[in-house]
Chains A and B, each alone.
Chain A
Amino acid sequence: MNRIHNLSVKSKFALAILPLIIIIVVFDYLQIREHYEDYKDSQRLNKAILVGIEINHAVHELQKERGISAGFLSQDAEEFRGDLDAQRYKTDSTIQAFYDEIERDQLADLVSLHTEDLDNLGTYFDRIQEIRTNVDSRFIGADQVISYYSEINEVALRTVNSLISESRNRVAAEQVHAIIYFLKAKERASIERAVGTQAFSFGSLTPETRGQFTSLIAEQDAFIDAFTTIADQPSLVYFNNTVSGQDVVEVDRLREQLIQSLTLENDANYWYQMSTTKINLLKKTEDFMSVRIHDYTEGISAEANRSLYTVLVVDSSIALLTFVMIAFIVSHLLKDVETLEEFTKKVIAGDLSKKVIIKTRDEIGHYADTFNLMITEIKKSHLALKKERDKARFLYENIYKQSQVVFENVEQGIFLLNKEHKISRLYSRAMETIFGTKTIAGETLVNFMRTLLIPRDLEALEMFMKHLFNSDIDEDVVNQLNPVEQVKIFTESGGMVNTKYIRLAFTRIENKAGAIQQIMVTVTDETEGVLLQHKLEEADEKKKMEMEQMLSILKIDPALLRGFIVNSRKVLKSISAKYEGHDEGEGFEELLTFTFQIIHNLKGNSIVIGLQILTDRFHKIEDAITKLKDNPKVVGNDFLNILYEVNEVDIIIGNMSDMLRKVANIYNKFSSEEQTDTNYDLIDSLKRGLSTMSEDTGKAINFDFTNDKNLTIPKIIQDPIKDILIQLMRNSIAHGIEAPNVRIAKRKLIKGNIAITLDNEDGSDEMILTYRDDGNGLNTAQIIEKAIHRNVIAESERDKVDDAQVIDLLFSDGFSTNEDVDEYSGRGHGLGVVKSKIEELHGTFNVNFETGQFFEIVVKFPSNIQNPIEE
């Protein structure tokens, strides 16, 4: 079935008309065969009639010969002798004509069909000569002769019958049978003639011949009846017209005479003549009919032939016409289809301008209409699409491009993350600048950041991404845990490694149903901001420090501060001077001790005047020096660090000096007060120093200054005196005055007391400065223990040490009983410094104490000293 579907339209049509053609051909074949059969039949009949006519001629002559032979044998032979010979010759020539006829080529097919009958007839014909010999010798009788000849004629007529009786044509068949009946009647007439001739010769019928004679007449009449029943009208008319007249009536009269046994008026010869005339008439009728049937069969043949050609011509014409019609329809149909196809190709190529034109109003025509409708619709939607395209183009130009411009220029990195955590194809140009790479799109964020983050942050980022896409967790909650909120990254550009601080912020993008579709990420380069922040912090710190310096100097009495500054700069310079004069080979021990004493002293002063900034600095330097002292292998560079620190302090002090000068200028401009020497500044700074120390240690201490004689310590020695007193106060707080709970236990006032008294011997330049605290006094046993521990005194001398020796120990340089080092004690230099300061003032001192009750030192020094340090 599929094969048929795939055939071309032409082939399909050919296939459709094939059954029709076959039917026509079969029908034609049957028709032609029918006609051909008719034709052949009539041809054959025609030929058979020709042969039959020849046989009938022979029979006719044999009938005559039989009659003459019978006459010859029954009476005077000589009378028939001549006739007999003539007849025999005639008979032979007709038999010869028969043989000639069947020898003809045209009749070969017919002869071959009836060979047996014809051969059989031939053997009977061959007997004629033998019969004749017997007749001539009168060896046989007339009856026998009639019998012999009749037998031959019977076979001949049977042969004719078999030749012509097989006709398919009813009319022909009827007429053939009419002839046959007629021939049979004629044969009876002929025998009747022979029997009649014999009877006339004898004068009457013999009893045997009478029966034969009457039956011959009866048979004759019966055959003629049969003939008249089936013969056609012309044959009948011809028969009635021909076989009539005087001679026929005469034969009937003669016949009656014989049957009635009347006196015969006529001889045998007369009978013979009369009956021969009648038989000749019969023969004439027979010939007429033979010609007629021959003509008829010729007609049938011709008609059959004509019919054959008619059928051939008509059917061929029908077939041809059908073919031409179908070819025309098919080609027309295909032409329309081709037109459609060409048009469709045009449409495919985009040409919608034309309509397909098919004039035929068949299905293809309708299809073309539909097609045109479709083209119209396509045009419409084409137009609509065009509009949409223009709209889209407009949108592209006006919106997409604008956002492109934004994306090109926005300073933030912006991109989207899809559900696979991959970076979108579209991202802002800033991304490339921030990260210094162009391979961004399509990477997962974690992979993209892999080289920029430490593993722990990467792990966090990975987890964070997971939770970002988990709509169960609130976006703000997740964003609180953003591990890349601010990260420091290192990027490379042009061979330079840049440090950047970037911030990544994440925003969920949800659809209408609230499902998270994408995450928008913004990347901000905060490097400038962060660096600025750092700078600001630095500047803040500096400002704070300056402010502190400013504030601290503002709190301090300018004269005191100036003194401190002048003194500090002078002694700090002496450190570098000492270092410059230092010989590498000497070692650093002495230099370190020298530096330490200066710094320690300055620290004490800064504490007293309340310069916390410098106190801290000095303490740091002390720490550094202490470390170096413990290190046996000190080199120049180590000391340089100390010098550097010292220089730093010098700069700060320089700054302070500048500030102070500015402040002093202001003072000078707005104040004209006379400056006189007083103890006021000294005592005030001592008070403030004590209150600072007292706050820091948590020991509340009362300060009591007694100056009954209103003495004034000369300005020039106020600083060393202050140094001494501060050192003593530090010592009292560190070692003397007990913690409040201890004092309660000792039934002492909770608040400790430090009392300073300024006095002199009347009239003397020597001033007496008494310093006393109500602390624990000196723990001599502990001091001795320490001294033994430090190998200052031998174990064996433990018991020999007296109080004076203990005091000497205390006032030696580097001795300390305190285990911890703080701002106020523990370095073991405190009282050593006091001793050396007193010696600088050319003063003396005396120590009294009572363990558990008090400590007192009385310092005596000249009041007229010029410049103690420069000495």
Chain B
Amino acid sequence: MTLLIVDDSSIMRRTIEKNLGDYNLEIIGTASNGNAALEIVKEKKPDVITLDITMPEMDGLTCLENIMEIHPAAKVMIITALSDKLTGLKALDKGARGFMYKPVNADDLKKAFDKLLKKRQE
């Protein structure tokens, strides 16, 4: 299974990457903004995508909308520092299937991904 990590913070990208090491996920790319993310989605069609909401150039919700248009089968996990519930709900509305608040730790990530991928197998 392939994974794309989208976050404007390199620390965050590294954290996710490191903590998902044990998972049977092949990290096929990381992107620091929406446009770069869309390029990778178009090209490689990753199975799973982690997506930040607050990013320069293109915000996460717009990016999510575009991702779902290009690759509707993608399982998108929102990882955000925004505590605003409405934004999170809007993300679910647009097709996200997982949600996490920053900061994330290995345990939270594992739990969230267990849920996301179990759902996928069903």
Contacts and interface: CB of A to CB of B under 8 A. Distances in A.
Given A480-B99, A481-B99, A473 B92 contact: yes
A474 B119 contact: yes
Interface string B75-112: 00000000001101110110001111100000000001
B91 to A, nearest CB: 9
A460 B89 contact: yes
B14 interface: no
B115 interface: yes
A460 B93 CA distance: 11
Given A473-B97, A474-B97, A483 B115 contact: no
A704 interface: no
A472 B97 contact: yes
A460 B99 contact: no
A459 B86 contact: yes
B98 A477 contact: yes
A481 B115 contact: no
Given A467-B92, A474-B97, A483 B119 contact: no
A424 B115 CA distance: 30
A482 B93 CA distance: 14
A480 B115 CA distance: 13
A474 B92 contact: no
A460 B98 contact: no
A159 B63 CA distance: 139
Contacts of A480: 88, 99-101
A594 to B, nearest CB: 50
Interface in A427-469: 456-457, 459-460, 463-464, 466-467
Contact of A463 (B93, B98, B115, B119): B93
A480 B112 CA distance: 11
B89 A464 contact: yes
Contacts of B90: 463
Nearest to B77: A477
A166 interface: no
A474 B98 contact: yes
A476 interface: yes
**Which of A464, A473, A481 counts the most B-chain CB atoms under 10 A from its CB?**
A481
Interface residues of A, number: 19
Nearest to B91: A481
A131 interface: no
Contacts of B97: 472-474, 477
Contacts of A459: 86
A481 B92 contact: yes
A478 interface: yes
B88 A476 contact: no
Interface residues on B, range: 10 to 19
**Which of A456, A467, A480, A483 counts the most B-chain CB atoms under 10 A from its CB?**
A480
Contacts of B86: 456-457, 459-460, 463, 483
Contacts of A472: 97, 119
Contacts of B112: 477
A477 B100 CA distance: 8
A343 B24 CA distance: 79
Nearest to B88: A481
Nearest to A479: B99
B89 A481 contact: yes
Contacts of A467: 89, 92-93
Contacts, number: 48
B82 to A, nearest CB: 11
A479 to B, nearest CB: 10
**Which of A474, A477, A478, A483 counts the most B-chain CB atoms under 10 A from its CB?**
A477
A452 to B, nearest CB: 16
Nearest to A465: B89
A473 B86 CA distance: 16
Contacts of B92: 463, 467, 473, 477-478, 481
A505 to B, nearest CB: 14
Contacts of A466: 93
A473 B116 CA distance: 9
B115 A464 contact: no
A476 B93 CA distance: 16
B121 to A, nearest CB: 13
A478 B99 CA distance: 8
Contacts of B98: 474, 477
B85 A460 contact: yes
Contacts of A481: 85, 88-89, 92, 99
Interface in A477-495: 477-478, 480-483, 485
B92 to A, nearest CB: 5
Contacts of A464: 85, 89
B85 A477 contact: no
Nearest to B122: A514
Contacts of B93: 463, 466-467
A449 to B, nearest CB: 14
B85 A474 contact: no
A473 to B, nearest CB: 6
B89 A477 contact: no
A480 B101 CA distance: 9
A457 B85 CA distance: 8
A143 B108 CA distance: 167
Contacts of B85: 460, 464, 481-483, 485
A483 B88 CA distance: 10
Interface in B26-40: none
A169 B12 CA distance: 139
B107 to A, nearest CB: 14
Nearest to B116: A474
Contacts of B119: 472, 474
Interface string A139-153: 000000000000000
Contacts of B100: 480
Contacts of B88: 480-481
Contacts of A456: 86
Interface in A374-417: none
B114 to A, nearest CB: 10
Nearest to A475: B115
Contact of B89 (A474, A476, A483, A485): A483
**Which of B89, B100, B119 counts the most A-chain CB atoms under 10 A from its CB?**
B89
Nearest to A484: B85
Contacts of A460: 85-86, 89
Nearest to B114: A474
Contacts of A477: 92, 97-99, 112, 115
A681 B92 CA distance: 67
A313 B93 CA distance: 102
Contacts of B89: 460, 463-464, 467, 481, 483
B5 to A, nearest CB: 19
A456 B92 CA distance: 17
A456 to B, nearest CB: 6
A460 B98 CA distance: 17
A472 B116 CA distance: 10
A122 B115 CA distance: 141
A842 B89 CA distance: 76
A847 to B, nearest CB: 54
B97 to A, nearest CB: 6
Nearest to A477: B99
B101 A476 contact: no
A44 B106 CA distance: 138
A480 B85 CA distance: 8
B61 to A, nearest CB: 13
Contacts of A478: 92
A470 to B, nearest CB: 8
- Going nearest first, the 7 A-B pairs with the smallest beta carbon separation are A460-B86, A483-B85, A463-B89, A481-B88, A474-B115, A481-B85, A467-B92
Interface of B: 85-86, 88-90, 92-93, 97-101, 112, 115-116, 119
14 contacts: A460-B89, A463-B90, A463-B93, A464-B89, A467-B92, A467-B93, A474-B97, A474-B116, A480-B100, A481-B88, A481-B89, A483-B86, A483-B89, A485-B85
Given A467-B89, A473-B92, 7 more contacts: A472-B97, A474-B116, A480-B88, A480-B99, A481-B88, A482-B85, A483-B86
